[in-house]
Each structure stands twice: as C-alpha cells, then as structure tokens.
Structure 1
Amino acid sequence: MRFWKLNKTAWLLYLSLFNAASNASSADPKLCGKACRQTFRTLKFADAHEGAFFARQECTSRLYQTSLHLCWDIHCREDVWVAESRAMNQTCQHMYDSYLAPHDIIDEITDDERAQIVQFNATNPGRTHRYDGLMLPTPAYFNIWVRTSAAHDYIWDYHRSYGWAMGIFWAVVITVGYGYYPSVWLQVVRHVSDRTGIISFANFPLIWLFGMRNNIVIWLTGWDFKTYNNFHRWVARIATVQAMVHSIGYIIIIFQRGGWDYFWKISNLTFWWTGELATIFICLLVALSFFYVRRVQYEFFLISHIILSLLVLVTMLSHVSIFRGAYDPLVWIPVLIWLLDRVVRLARMFAFNPKFWKTNAQITYNEDAHMIRVTVPVSSSFYKVEPGTFYYVMVLNKWNFWESHPFTVAWISKSEQHTTPEQIPLLGHITDEVGPEAGKRQWEMTLLIRPYDSFTSRLKKYAEQQQPKPAKVHVAIDGPYGKTLPLERFDKVLFIVGGSGIAVPLSYMHRLTTGTGPRLIEIHWAVRQTALAVDVLSQELSCVLGKEQVKVYVYVTGASNAGPLYTTACHLAEWKDGRLNIEGIIDNVLDIGDQGSLAVVTSGPARMADESRSAVADRATHSLPHIEYFEESFQW
C-alpha cells in the first residue's frame, strides 16, 4: 500500500511536470508532436526489425507506437497528435505499406500501469539494448527536445527569410542598376574605366618599390635587383595601359553625354585636366625608359625619369582630390619609399667611407683593350668586400654628381705607391692586413668597365686627359649590392663570360682556389680585343693560371690587336678563334672526372646568357650529375 502511494505520488509529479512542459510548448502546437517523436529516436524496441532505421521502427513497432501515443496523451492537445499521426500514416503507407496504431490503443492502460513505465533521458538507460516494454521520456529530456525543435524551426524560418531577402535584394539592385545607365555600352565603358583607373593607381606603390635598389622584398625573397627591375618595368607598362584605357573610356563617356560642349566644359575642372596630364606624363615616362634610350642617353633618361615621376605623383594627387583623401596614400606611399631608399643609400655611403666626399679614385684607360680600370681605396670601409657584389659609383667633382652606375668588383690589390706592385684576386678577409700600418698597406678595389656612352664615356675622357698618369677624381661609393654565390660547394665551376664580364670569375678566384674549393674551375672567355685578354691574363689572372684546377680558354671573336704574346701567363691560357660552342663546353666539363656537381655561371651578352640557360636546362635531369645555373646581370 505504501509502495502504491509512493508510485502514485511520483506519477502525479510526473504529470504535473509534463503539464508544465505542455503549456510551455502550447504556443506552437507542432513542437509537442515532434518533440515526442525525437525523444525516441535513439531507442530500439524488441518488436522492431533488428538494425532497422528509425523510420521503419516508427511504422512497424507496436511498443514504439504505444509509447508515442502515451507521450502525446500526456503532453499534447488532441488536434496536435491527430495532425502528427496523419502525417506519419502517409509516410508509413508510402514507404512500408503499414499504418500507425490508433490512439485508442492506450485506453486500456491504467494510471497504475502508466506509473510503472520506465522513464529515459539522453543517456540512461543505455542505447545498446533492445527494450521489450513501454518507455516514456523524462520531463527534462522532453523539454530539451522542445527547445531544440523550437531552435531548429527558428533557424529554418530564418534561413528561408534570408533566402527570400537575398533574392529581393538582388532584384532591386539589378532593377536599379539596369535603369541607371542609358545603354549597356555606356555601362560597360564606365565600369571598365573605373576599374582600370583604380588598378592603375593601386600599382604605384609596387612600381616605386620594385624600382628602388634598397628594396625590402629583395631581402625577403632573395631575388636579385635585375628580377625586380623587370617587375618594375612591366608593372609600370601595365599601369600605363590601364591609365590609357581609363582616360579614353571617360572621354568616350563625356562625348556620349554632351559632345564637344560638355567636353570643353568639364575640361576646365582641375581634377579632369590634371588626370589628362597624369596620363600623358606616365606615357612619356614609359616611352623614354626603353633600353635603347637608357643606353644611348642615360643622363636624359635619368633626368626625365625623375621629373616625369614627380609630375605624375603631383598631377595624380590633384586628380584624386575629389575623393577627399581616400586615394592620397597611393601618392604618399611611393614618396615614402623613395625617401627611405635615399636614406639607406646615404647610410651605405657612410659605411663604405665615413668621409665619403673624400674618397679618391684613380682611373686608367687601355685603348687597345678598350677597358677602363677604376681603383678605389677600401681601407676605411666598415665591412669586407665579398665576391660577386657590385657598387654604384658617383663622380662628385662634376656637375652631374647625382648620376650613379653599378659595377661588379673585379679584385682587390695593394696600393702601388707604398709597396711593390702586387695584385691578387678578391680577398675574403682584408681586415687582417689593415692595422697600425694601414697607411703603408692600403687596400684598393678595382672595377673593370667597358666604355660606352654617357657616364662610362666620361670616365674614359677623364683617363685620356691625364695619360700616362691615372686620373684622380672624388667619388662616392654606394654599396655593396647583390649576393655572393655559393660556388665553393660545387665540385666543378664553369664560367662562361664575355668582355668585361670577366670581372665575375675574377672576383671569385681567391675563394675558389684556396681551401677546399672545387676540383675544377674553367673560364671560357669571349673577347673582341686580344689586348683585353692579354692585359687581364698578365695581371689579375697571372697568379692563378699556374694552379692545376684552373683552366682558362680565350675565344677571340674580333681582329687581333695585341701583338706577340710574350708573357708566360698568356701561354698558360688556351687561345681559340670564333664563338663559343656553349653546349659542347658544358658537355665536356660534365664528362671530366667523376660525376660531381657542376655550377655554370654566365656573365655576358643576352644571347650568350640565353644559350647557356637553355643548355643547362636541357641537361638538368635526374640521369645527369647535379647542375645549377647562375646568371650575373650584364646589363639592366
């Protein structure tokens, strides 16, 4: 009797809690029916087919259907479970050809029997067994599914509304946009003009960044200045084309809207005519920057480049003034990049010589060899000179002192005025010799320069005016730039050079011929003037020609003008006539000795570099020894 009272009390408590839940869900009748079904989703009843899906259990399990009707009877109004059972019957009939048991199946279950029904929640009892009795969800578990169903329905309705909103939004956008322009043609022209103008202007920071020699992305990527200089030119060319499209497009729009009258009227607006000038200036800037102009009239190129760049920035700043500063950073960022580059250049000059304005250089010119030598003291430099690096040279005692040109260091030698003439290839450590006797043992770096026009032509004139003595000028040295190639890691090193490109192998000779360097070093050098080869062989290369691993081949492609080859160094080199057979040279080096790694370094005309690159690429396969190609810029 006491047990009956306890169970009856529990059952009444159960009914009161579920009644509260029912009231909570009565606001949306659909939630009650769905919540009851969802609570049974993970339960398995013994009278259902083993392994059957939940949908099949709903349609075939009498235990499940009876438990479901009990849940509906406790929590739901009649209209709710009637609608839910009708929907279930349609599914069961269609899929399994069965029907849901009628609701009166629970009429014979007394309150006492209901009180004895096992209650379950999300975890208890476990879901691994198949149950052969009636089950009911606990009030808390049922409430969880009520809230879950409410959240699900809310999100579902929200997504549906959002989908409709997107459709309505784009319908409005298309409708408004369709009627904004009088024709599709003008719409396309306007969009193309706007986009090309913005993209062209957005390229300005990249153009200035890639054009600076002190370029942070060079340090980040390890790519050389030649690569970024090509990027600089091509980004500028593309930006110029985009600016032309932008300008032409807006001219078309203006004429379409009002003809000449409207065009002359809008041409009086500052933003318009400054934009036209900016396009003209950038077109002139690109036209005056091609290689022919740079080589024949470098001073004109440099002056026009600076002036036109400044005019482009000024006119663009005025052109975008109508946007109230929105695009101004695209002008000030290039200005900042330019200023930072100049600051770093000045710092490099101070690092090379704190009194850079007092750096004295000696210039000599060999007419037969058609080669200029520029010798600059390096004892005051804060850093050692590394192989393969290059420096920008500025002559300060001339009116065009701001003009600078890059040259690769060929070698370092001891000053003639203090000791017996002794010239050695580029040293790895010059600071060991610079001590208390620095005044007596001053070190100098020498640059080999082929005279052309402009700056190099003036260097030639300086030397000719002072012959036979060296010409002395004040110079500022900005550097070093570039990087040293890890050639000492290879078993064989092959240099393929032309003319003044001999400076590249000269700069590496000391490093490669001392210590544990390559077993084989071959220099294949094409020259037009025999006198140039005789001069270099007798001086810079004389100290390494006798070494077993060094072989020098000179290819004379022009008329000989050197006279008899009296020096021993000249006889240690192998002389040939005609052009280099680059593929044959590489194949011969690959076949020499064992299958060691090979580095091919090229410094010469574009055709020579192209042939060398192609030959190495054809042989860079897994079946051949490891081979790498390095190219030192001969011209920019």
Structure 2
Amino acid sequence: MKLQFVFISVWLQIVQASSTWHFYSNPEYKVMACKAGLESVATWCSEGSSKSYKCACTNEPELGSWLNCVYNQTTENDVFAAESQVIKYCDKVKATLTHDKLKDSYANATNYLIDVSKDESFNKTNPINYPITFNKKASKAYKGYYIGYKHRYDNVTTSHYLGIVSLSMWVALFAFASVLHWIGRLFPSSKKALTGSIIDNYRKFIALAPTFNKSHLQPVDKLWAHGYFPTRFESIVLIIHFIYTAVACSAIGFTYTKGDMVFKNYMAGTSRYYGDRSGIILSYQLPLLFLYAGRNNFLQWLTGWPYYRFVTFHMWLARIIMFQVLVHSLAFVAQSDALGKTHSRLQAHYYIYGIVSTVAGCLILPLALQPIRKFAYEIFLFVHIVLVVMFTWTAYLHAEYLHYGSFYWVCCGIWLFDRFVRLLRAFAFGIKTAKASFLVDEATIKLTVPCPNYMKPFPGSHVFVQFLTPTTFWQSHPFTIVSSTTDENQFYLYCKVKNGITKKLLQKFQATEGSEVNIKVLIEGFYGSESPYHHYDKAVLIAGGNGISGPFSHALKLATSEVSKTETKLFWQVRDYSVLNWLGEELMQLKNTKVYPIIYVSDPNSSIDSVHLKSSSFDNSDNDSCEKNSPGENIKDANYSHSFMMDKFGFIEFHQGRLNATEIVASEIRESAGSVAIGACGHPAMVDEVRVAVKNNLSGSNKRVEYFEEMQAW
C-alpha cells in the first residue's frame, strides 16, 4: 500500500514539472515591447545583443527612454507591476535597481528627451548618449512588438492550460474507474445490484464490446500495426484523446496579425505557434506513456484494470505523441526556412538533439509492429529500449534549452522507479532451482518452482521468469501460475514450446537423456489480481489448452473454500486425453467438491492409450484396478484404458468435439438463479467468442452477469 502512494507522489511530479512555465502579464508585455520598439529606432550601445537587457539597464539614456515609454503605455494601476518587471529583467544582468531609482531616472530623462525623427543628422546605427521621445515610429514599432509578444507567449500559456486539461481528463477517468472498482471490492453486493436496461446496454455496446465485430485479442491482420484491436471502451477513450489533441494542437488560441514585429511574416509566426503548442502538450502527455508501460503501474491497483489495457493505451498514446513530435519538428523546419535560419540552427546543439530525438521516435513505431514482437521478441525488446533511451535523452537535451527538461526527468523517475521495484521483487523471491520436464504430447515444458515461505501465489497471478543461462539471462518472460496441490511452497508453470526461450529449453532436453533437467531461474512476482468469483452465485470458468492455469487456480480455491457457496463449473477445451499426464494430479483435487469440471476433447482417439497414470499421483482407495499397473506404465488396451480412465476421472464430464463457448455462456446464464461470473483464458479466438457471448446475453436478464478476462496479452 505504501509503495503505491510513493508511486502516486512520483506521478504527481508531472504537474510540478510545469513549474518552469513563466506566465507573462500584460505589464510585462508592455515592458518588453517598449524596449524592443525603442531599440528598433535608436542605438545606445555598440556592443550587445538586442535580446540582452544589459544596455537598457546600465545605460542611463536608454533606461530613461525605456521608462518614458513604459510610464506612457501603462495605466496608474499597472505602474508598480511594470516597474517590478523592469527591476526583474535588470537583476538578471546584475544591475540593481529599485522603484525609487527608476522614478529618479525617469524624472532626469524628461529633462533631456529628444525627438530623433526631427533630427536630419540622426543615424540609427550610430550609438547616441541621450534619451529619446516616444515618437510615431517608435510607437508603431512598440505596437508591432506588443502584438508579437502577446500572441507568442499567450499561445505558450494556452498550451500549458491545454496540456493540464489533457492530463486532467486521464486523471478524471482513472478517479471514476477507481471509485467504481473499490466500491465493488469493499461492497460486493452493490455491484451485483447494478442491473437494468441502461447498465446492460452500456456494458453490451461499450464496456464489453470489441471495437469491430468479434475481434479483440485475436490479430485481425498479422501485418497490422497493432496486432490487437482495443475494446470499444478503450477505442472511445483513445478517440476522444486523439480528437482533443488534434484540435488543441491546431485550432485553439493563436492567430497571426499583420504588423507583428516579433515574427515579421505569416509562415514564421504561424509555424512557431504550431511548434510551441504541440511541443508543450506532448510534454504533459509523455510521462503517461512511461507510466502505462510499467509492470508496477499503481493505476492497475487503483482501477482494477488488466495490464493489457494499459499496454493498449501505451501503444496508441505513443502514436498520438509521435504525431505531435512530427508536427513540432516540421513546424520548426518551416519556421527556420521562413526566418532564413536553417543553416545557423543546424549548427546549434539543441536543434541537432531535436532531430536525433525525432528520428529515434519515428523508428520506434515501425520496429514495434506485431510481426516483430511476435517472431523476434528479444530483438524487439532490446531495440525498443535502446531507441526509447536515445529518444528520451536527446529530447531532454533539446527541451532543457527552453527550460522544459523537468518533464523528461519525470519520465526517467517513473521508469527508474518501476525498475527499482522490479529488482526488489526479484531479490525478494531470490534465485531458485526449477525442475523442468518436457511433456512430449503437449509440446509443453512444465516448471516446478519453489517459492519462499513469505510469498504465496494467488489465483490468476503471473510471474516474469528469467532463465539464468549465458544466452537468455537478460530475457524476462511472463507465465501464469498453477499452485501446487501437494506442497504449498512450490508452484508450476506450463510453458508452450514456441520459437524463443522455450525452444532453447527444448534443445536442452534433447541434449540430455533424463526426463527432467534443473535450471536456475530468477522470478519476478507475484503480479496480477484475483478475480472475485466468490462474490457471485455461479462461476463459469472457460479455458483452452495451456490457458487452464488461471481458471484452474480459481476453481481450486473455490473448491477448497469453506466460506464460498459459489456454484462452479470448469470448462476445458483440449486436443486429446494426454493432458491428464500433466494436470491429472491437480484435477483429482476437484473430486468430491462443489466444482464441476467438464472437458471437451477435440481429437479423442489420438492419444488415449498414451495416458500415463502413476499410482502415487492418484487416490486408489475407491478402486483396486489401478494396482494392476505399475507406476508410470502405459495403458495399452484402448477399451480398458478408456474404462479405467473414466473410473478414475468419473467426476469429470468428458465430451468429444469442440467446446461451443456461445452455447455454454447462453445456457449457464439462462439456468442460473442468481448472479453469474464468467472467466475465460485460452486461444484468443475462443476468449473473444466468450466475450461476445457474454455481451449478447446481457439484455433481458435481471441478474448481474460479470466477465473476467483471465488472459494476459502484451
């Protein structure tokens, strides 16, 4: 709990980072415009930049001319504020002035004011040593500079406000979701009472619905940039954020006026306005990008949302931010050309850093495409981290030049804090020796991992595993946990053999003759949250293949709970009966409990005679037939095998064929007398089918139907 509030305090630094924002008042605009307007008419010092206040503050004739303009352009109520701004600017060049000294300088200057427009020998380029009047030419220049400064810095002020609003919209969303989540957690009956046409229609058409048709977790197009479609709720949130960002960056609060003396042509002024606006707004949004990607994101705890929702927000927010980065970069390219400063800016370090940061950011997006993440995850992860570090560091160097670097320190703080907590989790768990066995028929590696006495897994939890071998120690892979039914100090991980680390482990098996190998692992966890099935009258858990880990853990806890009265059904889609080799011992724990397991076998004849039933693994008290077989012996006779298996697993209802999730969901909701909680984990297509089936069966029901997606996707 304390850790969460520490992280909240880090996140709130996003707002504090805006403390470098300087708010320009109207008297300050007049002070700035008076100086610039007078210096466009006359010169007092031969050395120094027009942007410097040294001459204006230390040269008595220019100071007097400047004050003459300031006092003539400000009202009586603004005189003190204007004088304060003059003093502030002069302090920066170490010229100590007071309000009394300013009044004395002005009074002295009024005795010697000269109108240079009436002096035919006057030459602007030659320094003068007397104060000048605020003539018609100076007045015109003053107005041009006043307009230019006001438009430029009012745009900066508006940009900060729009950035704060952008951040506040996310805060409001999370606050609302957090309130709903914790009301449901602390008062479970209140959530079960949330039924009716309005709530059901919201959940049916927004909360549970995929954005398009039925596809959410399953990739619609393998070459598509994201790979997974957001839910409709996520899409609505992202679309609102995109529309707001697009409008805020392009259509609110800035105009160009002819006669502007700061930006003397339309392109120079407008491109600067677009550049400042997009750069400031993205500075407020960028820390969210780092926060959403973190494993220890406190918002998961507050809202109860799954990790993959924040991954979805991370991916799409990255695209929106890069849209702003491109607008920012192209705007300053256009302004550099309009001002004729392209060559000089290309020599400036801050400009070069901006170019490098933009290129790095543009490379991040295509190199994070779904095919790369899926088929070369380790390469993607390494390149992604390198490019993100390059983008952040060079963006910081670029932004620090204009005093916006604190936003990037917030990003670094969030990233480093997440890494720090991950290290704490890993060290708390410690390096363990896991026993790995290869389940040939299932193409699955089973890891038996010991855990410390002070850390216990919970249903639905997952861990990140680092296999400590010379070539894989730096890789971190997520796996869902199955608690051991015989030893509370260990748990199991079932790892489907694919092309990455699991394939290397398989090669390790093939190089040895034993059925088990020991491997050092570093575990980071436990992560996730436990879905509250026990608060509902019925729990329907639907799993496919290796997706059984989470649903089984929930079913086992419901089965062993002395308090829960939840009617529980566990549906499992498998390819063949060989799954009993690796989960048979665990399934036996559901015998004579209130959990009713149902297994669908799509290919029942492929491996029924390869089921290995170890006498030490099962309870033989009900039938002595098991004694006819030695431990681990194959049951060769198919008919005998079938009858023996049905006898030992008679509490399980077996079906031949594929599981029809749509029919199961509709039937279970229809037959339930009270509230129903439905959970799914397995192949993405099956999980999507369950989600759509749940939303389609909400209408017309006076009972609360909840859906928990146990599958983690990233």
TM range (shorter): 0.5 to 0.7
Find the counterpart in structure 1 of residue 570 from structure 2.
523
Does the 8 Å CA contact 1:361/1:472 hold for their aligned counterparts? yes
Find the counterpart in structure 2 of residue 364 from structure 1.
437
Q: Are 2:411 and 1:334 aligned? A: yes
Q: 1:391 to 1:532 in 2, by over 3 A?
A: farther
| Post-superposition offset of 1:549 | 3.9
Q: Are 2:689 and 1:607 aligned? A: no
| Post-superposition offset of 1:392 | 1.0
| Post-superposition offset of 1:190 | 2.7
Q: 1:579 to 1:195 in 2, by over 3 A?
A: farther
Q: 1:532 to 1:225 in 2, by over 3 A?
A: farther
Q: Are 2:446 and 1:400 aligned? A: no
Q: 1:192 to 1:555 in 2, by over 3 A?
A: farther
Q: Which runs of 5+ in 2 are unaligned?
A: 1-76, 78-145, 152-254, 610-637
Please give the secondary structure, in 2, of the residue aligned with 1:595. Answer: coil
Find the counterpart in structure 1 of residue 392 from structure 2.
313
Find the counterpart in structure 2 of residue 494 from structure 1.
540
Give matches, 1:188-207, under 5 Å. 188-207=270-289
Does the 8 Å CA contact 1:605/1:634 hold for their aligned counterparts? no
Please give the secondary structure, in 1, of the residue aligned with 2:484. Answer: strand
- Structure 2: distance between partners of 1:203 and 1:450: 38
- Structure 1: distance between partners of 2:342 and 2:453: 61
Among 446, 449, 474, the alignment partner of 1:373 is 446
| Post-superposition offset of 1:632 | 1.4
Give matches, 1:361-510, under 5 Å. 361-378=434-451, 380-414=452-486, 430=488, 443-510=489-556
- Structure 1: distance between partners of 2:409 and 2:149: 39
Please give the secondary structure, in 2, of the residue aligned with 1:466. Answer: coil
- Structure 1: distance between partners of 2:150 and 2:383: 48
Please give the secondary structure, in 1, of the residue aligned with 2:389. Answer: helix
| Post-superposition offset of 1:504 | 1.1
Find the counterpart in structure 1 of residue 323 from structure 2.
241
Does the 8 Å CA contact 1:371/1:532 hold for their aligned counterparts? no
Does the 8 Å CA contact 1:490/1:598 hold for their aligned counterparts? yes
| Post-superposition offset of 1:453 | 2.1
Q: 1:468 to 1:517 in 2, by over 3 A?
A: farther
Please give the secondary structure, in 1, of the residue aligned with 2:571. Answer: strand
Two-structure CA RMSD over aligned residues (Å): 2.9
Find the counterpart in structure 2 of residue 587 from structure 1.
666
Does the 8 Å CA contact 2:573/2:602 hold for their aligned counterparts? yes
Find the counterpart in structure 1 of residue 704 from structure 2.
626
Does the 8 Å CA contact 2:539/2:568 hold for their aligned counterparts? yes
- Structure 1: distance between partners of 2:479 and 2:358: 35
Deviations 1:591-612 (A, max 9, x none): 43x5122110011233322222
Q: 1:377 to 1:194 in 2, by over 3 A?
A: same
Give matches, 1:66-465, under 5 Å. 177-180=257-260, 181-184=263-266, 186-258=268-340, 262-323=341-402, 326-352=403-429, 356-357=430-431, 359-378=432-451, 380-414=452-486, 430=488, 443-465=489-511
Q: Which amino acid aligns with 1:627?
A: V
Find the counterpart in structure 1 of residue 201 from structure 2.
none
Does the 8 Å CA contact 1:554/1:573 hold for their aligned counterparts? no
Deviations 1:492-542 (A, max 9, x none): 111122221100122123311122434532222233x32553334523212
Give matches, 1:38-49, under 5 Å. none
Among 595, 599, 604, the alignment partner of 1:553 is 599
Does the 8 Å CA contact 2:535/2:566 hold for their aligned counterparts? no
Q: Which runs of 5+ in 1 are unaligned?
A: 1-157, 159-168, 416-429, 431-442
Q: Are 2:612 and 1:534 aligned? A: no
- Structure 2: distance between partners of 1:171 and 1:318: 27
| Post-superposition offset of 1:450 | 1.3
- Structure 2: distance between partners of 1:322 and 1:532: 65
Q: Which amino acid aligns with 2:456?
A: K
Please give the secondary structure, in 2, of the residue aligned with 1:494. Answer: strand
Q: Which amino acid aligns with 2:684?
A: A
Please give the secondary structure, in 2, of the residue aligned with 1:203. Answer: helix
Does the 8 Å CA contact 2:596/2:652 hold for their aligned counterparts? no
- Structure 1: distance between partners of 2:447 and 2:684: 25
Q: Are 2:676 and 1:598 aligned? A: yes
| Count of equivalent residues | 432
- Structure 2: distance between partners of 1:406 and 1:196: 37
Q: 1:622 to 1:588 in 2, by over 3 A?
A: closer
Does the 8 Å CA contact 2:446/2:495 hold for their aligned counterparts? yes
Please give the secondary structure, in 2, of the residue aligned with 1:387. Answer: coil
Please give the secondary structure, in 2, of the residue aligned with 1:235. Answer: helix
Does the 8 Å CA contact 1:370/1:532 hold for their aligned counterparts? no
Q: Which amino acid aligns with 1:227?
A: R
- Structure 2: distance between partners of 1:263 and 1:170: 25
Does the 8 Å CA contact 2:539/2:676 hold for their aligned counterparts? yes
Q: TM-score, normalised by structure 1?
A: 0.63
| Post-superposition offset of 1:171 | 12
Q: 1:608 to 1:225 in 2, by over 3 A?
A: same
Q: Which amino acid aligns with 1:251?
A: V
- Structure 2: distance between partners of 1:219 and 1:266: 46
Deviations 1:434-485 (A, max 9, x none): xxxxxxxxx3210112122222322333334335331211111111111111
Identity fraction in percent: 29
Q: 1:553 to 1:340 in 2, by over 3 A?
A: same
Structure ranking higher on relative contact order (CA contacts 8 Å, 6+ apart) = 2
- Structure 2: distance between partners of 1:373 and 1:576: 26
Q: 1:479 to 1:183 in 2, by over 3 A?
A: same
- Structure 1: distance between partners of 2:271 and 2:591: 68
- Structure 2: distance between partners of 1:367 and 1:597: 41
Q: Tell which deviates more after alignment, 292-301 or 169-178.
A: 169-178
Please give the secondary structure, in 2, of the residue aligned with 1:179. Answer: coil
Does the 8 Å CA contact 1:524/1:555 hold for their aligned counterparts? no
- Structure 2: distance between partners of 1:387 and 1:533: 20
Does the 8 Å CA contact 1:351/1:381 hold for their aligned counterparts? no
- Structure 2: distance between partners of 1:470 and 1:450: 16
- Structure 2: distance between partners of 1:210 and 1:217: 8
- Structure 2: distance between partners of 1:284 and 1:345: 27
- Structure 2: distance between partners of 1:203 and 1:320: 15
- Structure 2: distance between partners of 1:625 and 1:196: 48
Q: TM-score, normalised by structure 2?
A: 0.56
- Structure 2: distance between partners of 1:187 and 1:288: 35
Q: 1:210 to 1:189 in 2, by over 3 A?
A: same
- Structure 2: distance between partners of 1:240 and 1:559: 54
Does the 8 Å CA contact 1:368/1:532 hold for their aligned counterparts? yes
| Post-superposition offset of 1:172 | 10
- Structure 2: distance between partners of 1:532 and 1:272: 63
Please give the secondary structure, in 1, of the residue aligned with 2:588. Answer: helix
Does the 8 Å CA contact 1:365/1:464 hold for their aligned counterparts? no
Does the 8 Å CA contact 2:351/2:398 hold for their aligned counterparts? yes
Q: Which amino acid aligns with 1:218?
A: Q
- Structure 2: distance between partners of 1:538 and 1:507: 14
